[in-house]
A and B are shown apart, each in its own frame.
Chain A
């Protein structure tokens, strides 16, 4: 049994993101005035400086912008997972998120590969929105 992952500590600004993840929904901040998506969370829209925004559901679909296959676990939680993939995902909406991929996706990862979100309930309080490869329109098992 590996050690638990380091868990996010939500702030008043970010707790909506993690609450949505708990109900298996992926949301991103969207400016209520100019419509720009933004991630990671901030109080103001950097494009129009509006303070009006809403957590807005996104498709959960995207592509691998870049990745690395880590052979060293820099935290005990990944010691029995190496080699594991850390991918930077560009969502169809344009924002980027980081996720480790499921272990069995390691041999198949490439830049540009299609991915979709899935929800990893790592503790009763925390669900992590993660991503997995989609091949021929069919997702790999989580």
Chain B
């Protein structure tokens, strides 16, 4: 076996996902962090870098104080909303490859049910929201469901995407959640009829098109791939990563083409170019796709933006069952934000690592899983993408 190059995700961990918690966001982050560090086979004192989450209002000091980190040598915070999670992994890799740190902790997640709840506007509002606050909220365009609904409406208008196709995404995520005892919607299967009868939130989105409001946190530990090879799990390498900030950044409504998440395409191209250069991995090699989906439509948009299908083909692709386990490209095998929990996409990242370790129950395991793509979205179509691979 050759020494793997670049960086790896050596540890993953998370809290239970719940709707209702007595614990603070910091307590959730600390539990997830300790689990991820233990999973890697490291000690807290080994951590010398941390990427605190702005969406959860966390700081490096939270982790220095509670984990007793006396040798923290690198910290940075991204301001890309949900896209910060994979972006933080990318930045952790840069810090490690530059020799600034050796083991970087990336915690994420929030009290999306009990605290920073989006539907009641209790979530963290970052500076990027200023124009939206001034020019859209006074006109009733308040919640993410309403912004993304307008993108989905445009997609339906341009490509003929249907509500039933959105429903196939929701049903598939729910089917996958039945294979994940830790998913919030485990034991609560749905049919396409249930989707079609669920109450309308903001056309075309029904209740079952919207991700869950949940409490919980997850964390990963990034090290060099070389070091990960000496730790306890099969090595999951970061083969490529990309970040893109959509233009213009002021609001979803200002995107030249709201039906296309162009930043996701840009970030994906960067990630795939690197993965091809470093490991010969191409799009067509990808075994599973984990996309942080605030809404059902985003899975369709993500498949198209990343070039897994052509623009407009996402709806038929999901309708034909290709995103199910056993299909051509299984998507969100743990249930995703629609059915596992909304944890700022860190649950998607954790699932990708577990699939690549081949460490999930057999019914959920993608056969011979060797490559995975994780995509996270945040703010107004900002996007980050990582291509992960199991070291051979």
Contact = CB atoms under 8 A, between A and B. Distances in A.
Interface in A63-100: 65-72, 74-75, 77-78, 81, 83-84, 86, 88, 96-100
A128 B139 contact: yes
Nearest to A75: B142
A84 B121 CA distance: 19
Contacts of B140: 5, 70, 75, 77-78, 81, 84, 86, 100
Interface stretch (A8-16, A54-62, A133-141): A8-16
A6 B141 CA distance: 11
B138 A128 contact: yes
Contact of A66 (B153, B200, B205): B153
Interface stretch (B144-152, B181-189, B301-309, B314-322): B144-152
Interface in A85-142: 86, 88, 96-100, 111, 122, 126, 128, 130
A68 B146 contact: yes
B276 to A, nearest CB: 33
Contacts, number: 108
A111 B157 CA distance: 8
Contacts of A10: 134
A116 B320 CA distance: 42
B142 A74 contact: yes
A66 B157 contact: yes
A66 B137 contact: no
Contacts of A11: 134
A98 B201 contact: no
A7 B135 CA distance: 9
Given A75-B121, A98-B253, A6 B199 contact: no
B138 A69 contact: no
Nearest to B140: A100
Contact of B253 (A71, A83, A96): A96
A99 B202 CA distance: 15
Contacts of A68: 146, 149-150, 153, 202-205
A109 B143 CA distance: 20
B199 to A, nearest CB: 7
B258 interface: yes
A98 B143 contact: no
Given A98-B141, A98-B253, A65 B134 contact: no
B128 to A, nearest CB: 12
A46 B254 CA distance: 14
Contacts of A7: 138
Contact of A65 (B135, B137, B138, B154): B154
B114 to A, nearest CB: 18
A14 B146 CA distance: 25
B230 interface: no
A44 B86 CA distance: 31
B291 to A, nearest CB: 22
B194 interface: no
Nearest to B206: A71
A70 B142 CA distance: 10
A72 B157 contact: no
B62 interface: no
Given A10-B134, A75-B121, A111 B153 contact: yes
Interface in A25-66: 39-41, 46, 65-66
A65 B258 contact: yes
Given A65-B154, A111-B154, A8 B138 contact: yes
A72 B6 CA distance: 47
A74 B149 CA distance: 14
Nearest to B142: A74
Given A65-B258, A66-B258, A69-B203, A8 B146 contact: no
A108 to B, nearest CB: 14
A86 B136 CA distance: 9
Given A40-B131, A71-B200, A75-B121, 9 more contacts: A5-B140, A66-B154, A68-B149, A70-B202, A71-B201, A75-B142, A98-B135, A128-B138, A128-B139
9 contacts: A66-B151, A66-B154, A69-B200, A71-B199, A71-B202, A72-B145, A78-B140, A84-B140, A122-B138
For the complex of A and B, the 3 pairs showing the least CB-CB separation, nearest first, are A68-B149, A74-B142, A74-B143
